[in-house]
């Protein structure tokens, strides 16, 4: 095992979205992730090959039938040896399985029981179904995104699922594990995407209360309202992104565009922003994207090409940093962040359910006869 988290043991209950992303991130950093998957049924396979399930890289999969008491006992035996558990079910599911926080903490008082949901463990919506866009909607963030004359667009599932969910889950687990190691006291984490996104919206809530942020879309400094912070179409139908907020960067951007500040309204004159956006748009349509990039190179004008997902791995800067890695026959985003002494690595391909059942349990200290008994009664499967 390599990485700064080598030696950390995590049990992850198989799911989708932020929970497996957090498990994958911890796995990239060296944690030993034991993913508990359902036993595959004959003739019913996953929609995609396991190698494309990037969230499950650097994990091992044990296939268990959690309807069987022997499987529940196996999970609790793993809990007794682990630092933390990640689960992303609706509130109450783990309790009905017999794997609730009280049971797990009784098996291991130093244990961190991390629960990942969209709405949280409590509240009027706790039992409602939802996805990233629904959780984002409740925080005010979705309403603030997009063009003023169109409905708010779904911003991929980066903000609620991953930003407000998985990353807060990761920080929560590491914080609670540190506390447990200092005090011997475990605890339960209630990680809700609405809580994380609400926290991410801190600055904008402050701006709104200061009166410097309106409740309209495309009307503010970093929502596309400012002519110097938005995307523009270029002559070849591609786009550049400009973010020249500070006055000296704005001056550099104007120089790239061959515009003079004296001929324009003041940079922060909001009443002039609509007309300025139109003027900037006309200028950017006069050259191709790559011509603008070449023109702005080295001039600190805060201009970058809006690359497609296919283009991103080929960019010279991304290549220089090794931002993408060829692994298991596909191109993966490289582990992040980067550590000088304990580098994170890609060392295990994403497993099909049950690929590692026998060996992983053996490595976690399960006796050979226990593993054999689990398999013989159908509580565990090796695929």
Q: Which of 131, 179, 315, 332 is labelled catalytic? A: 131
Residue with tokens 């179904």: 129
Active site residue 131: yes
**CA–CA distances in Å: residue 77 to residues 7, 31, 136, 351:** 18, 18, 37, 22
SS3 17: coil
- The backbone torsions φ and ψ at residue 189, rounded to the nearest 5 degrees and listed phi first, read -110, 130
Stretch (H or E) spanning 168: helix 167-183
Q: Residue 114: beta bridge partners?
A: 86, 189
DSSP 54-93: GGGTTEEEEEE-TTSHHHHHHHHHHHHH-SEEEE-SPTTH
Q: Are 277 and 227 in contact (CB under 8 A)?
A: yes
CA distance 275 to 258: 17
Residues in the chain: 383
Q: Are 30 and 4 in contact (CB under 8 A)?
A: yes
Those residues whose C-beta lies under 8 Å from the C-beta of residue 151, and which sit 6 or more positions away, are none
CB atoms within 10 A of CB 105: 18
- Helices and strands in the chain, H and E counts: 14, 12
Active site residue 215: no
Q: Which of 28, 32, 37, 161 is labelled catalytic? A: 161
Those residues whose C-beta lies under 8 Å from the C-beta of residue 78, and which sit 6 or more positions away, are 11, 34, 361, 364
Active site residues: 131, 161
């Amino acid at each position: 095992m390599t990485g700064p988290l080598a030696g950390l043991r995590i049990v992850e209950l198989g799911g989708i979205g932020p929970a497996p992303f957090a498990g994958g991130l911890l796995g990239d950093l060296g944690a030993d992730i034991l993913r508990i998957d359902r036993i595959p049924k004959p003739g019913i396979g996953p929609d995609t090959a396991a190698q494309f399930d990037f969230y499950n890289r650097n994990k091992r999969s044990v296939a268990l039938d959690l309807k069987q008491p022997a499987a529940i006992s196996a999970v609790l035996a793993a809990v007794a040896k682990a630092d933390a558990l990640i689960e992303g079910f609706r509130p109450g599911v783990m309790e009905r399985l017999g794997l609730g926080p009280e049971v797990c903490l009784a098996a291991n008082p130093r244990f961190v029981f991390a629960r990942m949901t969209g709405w949280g463990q409590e509240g009027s919506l706790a039992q409602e179904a939802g996805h990233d866009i629904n959780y984002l909607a409740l925080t005010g963030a979705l309403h603030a995104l997009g063009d003023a004359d169109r409905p708010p667009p779904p911003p991929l599932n980066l903000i609620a699922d991953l930003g407000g969910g998985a990353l807060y889950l990761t920080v929560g687990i590491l914080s609670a594990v540190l506390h447990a190691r200092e005090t011997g006291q475990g605890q339960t984490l209630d990680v809700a995407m609405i809580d994380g996104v609400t926290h991410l919206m801190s600055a904008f809530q402050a701006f709104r209360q200061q009166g410097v942020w309106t409740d309209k879309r495309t009307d503010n400094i970093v929502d596309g309202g400012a002519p110097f912070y938005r995307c523009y179409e270029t002559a070849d139908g591609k786009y550049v992104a400009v973010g020249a907020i500070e006055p000296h960067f704005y001056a550099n951007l104007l120089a790239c565009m061959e515009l003079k500040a004296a001929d324009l309204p003041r940079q922060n004159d909001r009443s002039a922003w609509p007309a300025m956006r139109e003027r900037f748009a006309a200028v950017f349509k006069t050259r191709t994207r790559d011509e603008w990039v070449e023109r702005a190179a080295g001039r600190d004008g805060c201009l970058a090409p809006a690359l497609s997902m296919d283009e991103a791995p080929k960019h010279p800067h991304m290549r220089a940093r090794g931002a993408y890695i060829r692994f298991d026959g596909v191109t993966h985003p490289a582990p992040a962040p980067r550590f000088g002494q304990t580098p994170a690595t890609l060392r295990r391909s994403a497993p099909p359910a049950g690929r590692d059942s026998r060996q992983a349990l053996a490595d976690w200290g399960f006796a050979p006869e226990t593993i054999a008994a689990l398999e013989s009664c159908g509580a565990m499967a090796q695929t």
